[in-house]
Amino acid sequence: MIFDTHAHYDDEQFDIDREELLGKMETEGIGMIVNAGSTIESWDRIKKLTEEYSFMYGSVGVHPDEVGTLNEQSFQRMGELLDCEKIVAVGEIGLDYYWDKEGHDLQRQWFIRQLELAREKNMPVIIHSREAAADTMDIMKQYAGGMKAVIHCYSYSPEMAREYVKMGYYIGVGGVVTFKNARRLKDTVKEIPLESIVLETDCPYLAPEPFRGKRNSSLNLPYIAKEIAEIKEISCEKVVQQTEINARKLYNLEKGD
């Protein structure tokens, strides 16, 4: 079964057909989905989705572009939501110096506080990092040692991926790996062990080829698994099977639990 470790079905782009689309998942082999939180407003929608669909789990956190909306009250609410049964991670949290919507100090401050909250709750973290390679690595080393984490939509060098793998973290691979110009990500996938890779869509964003630019959904994950299989010269089944095991370990959703 395919495990989508990062999706945003709370996004308004799914308002027209969310029910119909999610109704197809299990018959199409998509067995588990973790819907990642990004804004404070997304949290309640995510909780509701996890209650409506047995295969849906969620995470709560605030994306670096949105940390200006956080305050002590909302941070406390986040802590309460983390105690819900189907909320399995803190995320997505991190640093984004590409869009640069919030000051770097504020981004770092809330990134660290959300990491500390995850440690307190003994939960894994979903990391968003764009054009902030060195600062993200520094903060992870200083504040997330021994914790479970996925570096979602990984976009840095193979060398840095190996360093994250050594720290015990997972590398999230999505639609970008199918793009012709994604040489660096393809090299990363080739160099790191399959045991450290998890599949993700980040839908509605980042649809794989041949749907690049269109609305993405978990139904496109087979294209990503196929590309990883080709790069690593193994079967698609092996990719699906191992990445499911990895994702279950990441989110503490091992079979029999």
For binding to Ni ion (CB under 5 A), which residues are involved? 202
CB of 235 to Ni ion, least distance (A): 28
CB of 66 to Ni ion, least distance (A): 12
**Per-residue burial over 122-132, b = 16 or more CB atoms within 10 Å of its CB, e = otherwise:** ebbbbbbbbeb
Strands (E), 39-135: 56-60, 87-96, 125-130
**Which residue lies nearest Ni ion, judged by its C-beta?**
202
CB 68 within 8 A of CB 106: yes
CB of 7 to Ni ion, least distance (A): 8
CB of 30 to Ni ion, least distance (A): 17
Q: Which is nearer to Ni ion, 165 or 206 (CB)?
A: 206
Q: Which is nearer to Ni ion, 201 or 243 (CB)?
A: 201
Structure tokens at 84: 């819900």
CB of 103 to Ni ion, least distance (A): 21
Q: Which is nearer to Ni ion, 37 or 222 (CB)?
A: 37
CB 116 within 8 A of CB 158: no
CB of 47 to Ni ion, least distance (A): 17
Q: Which is nearer to Ni ion, 202 or 227 (CB)?
A: 202
Q: How many angstroms separate the CA atoms of 234 and 226, rounded?
A: 9
Q: Which is nearer to Ni ion, 4 or 202 (CB)?
A: 202
**Sign of CA pseudo-dihedral 75, 80, 83, 85:** negative
Nearest to 252 by CA among 23, 51, 82: 82
Q: Which is nearer to Ni ion, 128 or 148 (CB)?
A: 128
Nearest to 30 by CA among 7, 58, 61, 14: 7
Exposure of 22 in the CB half-sphere (CA atoms within 13 A): 23
Q: Which is nearer to Ni ion, 12 or 237 (CB)?
A: 12
CB of 146 to Ni ion, least distance (A): 25
Strands (E), 78-211: 87-96, 125-130, 149-151, 170-173, 197-199
